[in-house]
Amino acid sequence: MNQVVECVPNFSEGRNPDIVRAVVDIVRSVPGVALLDETMDPDHHRAVVTFAGRPYAVAEVAFQMARVASQLIDLRSHHGEHLRIGATDVMPFVPIRGVSMQDCVQLARMVGQRIGNELKIPVFLYEEAASRPERKNLEWIRKGGLKGLVARMETDPAWAPDFGPKHLHQTAGATVVGARWPLIAFNVNLKSRDLSVATAIAKVVRQSSGGLPFVKAIGVDLKTLGLVQVSMNLTNHEETPLHVAFAAVQREAEARGVDVAGTEIIGLVPEHALIATAQQALRLDRFDDRQVLEARLDSPESREAFGRLSASQPLNEKSALPARTGAVDGIMTESQGLTGGSVGALSAAFAASLGVMVAKLNRARAVETRLSEIRTRLHELVKIDREAYAQVLQASKLPLNHPDRALQLASSLLAATETPLEIVKLSCEIIPLLRGLLASAKPEVHPDLTMGMRLADAVIDGCLGMVEENMKAQPNQQLIVSIRDRFSIAEQMLVDAKSLCYTPPFDSWSQKVLNILKLR
């Protein structure tokens, strides 16, 4: 899987396993998503679920989890140590592999809009997705809990939600959705029943009070254990590692005559964070991450060697042929199981390659760099489109009465629509870049640039048709509306590309754009 996004929603339920199970089961019902971790805490009265997978499948799971949580969790009867404002309290999207932070911001906005529009729950965007500076930090949104948020919403126009109604949902409250980098939820339990001790230590160690950078901390009363806790979020474990945060809490506890009872990590933790902590605790000299057995087994060199070892089938006529190299070999490899979108991505990649060639001749470094980036992404989209198409086929083969058929079909069609739409956007970017090279390029390479623009033109025309047809097949009308809203960005790019193209006409674009925008 080339693209992996992680989602770590927190739900205001830590005592009823049936409710948590109903929410978690949604992860298992959608292809392309894996459940990584789930925890429940009765004192915090909170559940944290971690799952990851293909971006738009993750987005669909996240929305469905919020829907079920809003039906099963009633904040009016909720009492727990952890501050909260919603049944689905917070829902961050985290880039893991093959996706950018901006991709996660777009997912957060898409899911937030659906929660607001379909579930009638006010949604506030935070961290990298925040629409206002005062909403970047989660603690600012949660300040004062539900009562504090209600007061701000009622008296300050700046605290209108990003999506949804301007009042809390009667039972589900509000939801915070955003995009952030990986963090570590790290708790230190103290042998004390005095909450003021944990609260005082939390104030000393957290960044907002002048403590450790990238550390958020609160004091929590663990009534079921007869202990208090310093509950921390480490938002940058490289700047403030686990052992540094622990040492700070331990030092402050000892100064108050209190011992540490133990520690815990909630959810998942990056391997590097544990290695750094072990290295410090064991005082290892000259330790390298590559000394970790699993890391070496998963290295590119090992995977390549394992691949050679597994290639033990007898030689046939094809396997005896000498290996191909270069662009032609790439086409031969990628042409297996091509789809319309993957052909479009390959064609647009060729258009970008022509531009890279001319940019190198003209020493147009910035243009060369951007076209190279576009080409790389287009090659990734070849496989992504094939995978999306395979998921559509898989969903369409389910029996009509299968309980998950509609959900799987909607999720897979969404991915199959997003890919050609991204190809359209990238192709729209290629055209003005190639057009700009014409002014300074030598006449003998003008045909190359013209060919590139014609290729991009054909790709745009074909992929717009795919977007239109996939949207017609999409059973979820709210997803159609969401795609239409995001299509407005591509629409302006189309207008700009049309005005700059060297070889008009582009009449077929216009009708496809109108058809897409008319879909409801």
Show which residues are catalytic: 82
Q: Which residue, chain included where needed, has tokens 């079921």?
A: 224
Q: Are 272 and 266 in contact (CB under 8 A)?
A: no
Give the residue from 394, 406, 415 showing the smallest Cα distance to 58: 415
Q: What is the DSSP string of 337-390?
A: T--HHHHHHHHHHHHHHHHHHHHHHHT-HHHHHHHHHHHHHHHHHHHHHHHHHH
The verdict on whether omega for the bond into residue 504 sits within 30 degrees of 0, i.e. cis, is no
Token pair recorded at residue 164: 């949804």
Q: Are 128 and 179 in contact (CB under 8 A)?
A: yes
Q: Are 118 and 60 in contact (CB under 8 A)?
A: no
- Separation CA 233–CA 186 (nearest Å): 6
Q: Are 263 and 190 in contact (CB under 8 A)?
A: no
Give the strand pairing for 88-97 and 4-7.
antiparallel
Q: Which residue, chain included where needed, has tokens 């392309």?
A: 32
- Separation CA 401–CA 460 (nearest Å): 37
Q: Which residue, chain included where needed, has tokens 């039906």?
A: 71
Q: Torsion-angle region of residue 322: left (phi > 0), alpha (psi -120 to 50) or beta?
A: beta
Q: What is the dihedral of CA 155, 159, 161, 165, to 10 degrees?
A: 10
User: Looking at residue 166, what DSSP letter applies?
Assistant: S
Longest dimension (CA), the chain: 82
List CB contacts of 260: < 8 A, sequence separation 6 or more. Answer: 188, 189, 190, 191, 249, 250, 253
Radius of gyration of the chain (CA): 26
Helices 477-500, 405-438: axis angle to 10 degrees equals: 10
Q: What is the DSSP string of 464-506?
A: HHHHHHHHHH---HHHHHHHHHHHHHHHHHHHHHHHH-SS---
- Separation CA 107–CA 91 (nearest Å): 11
Token pair recorded at residue 89: 């309290």
Q: Which residue, chain included where needed, has tokens 């017609």?
A: 472
Q: In the chain, how many H helices and how many E strands?
A: 17, 11
Give 95's strand partners: 5
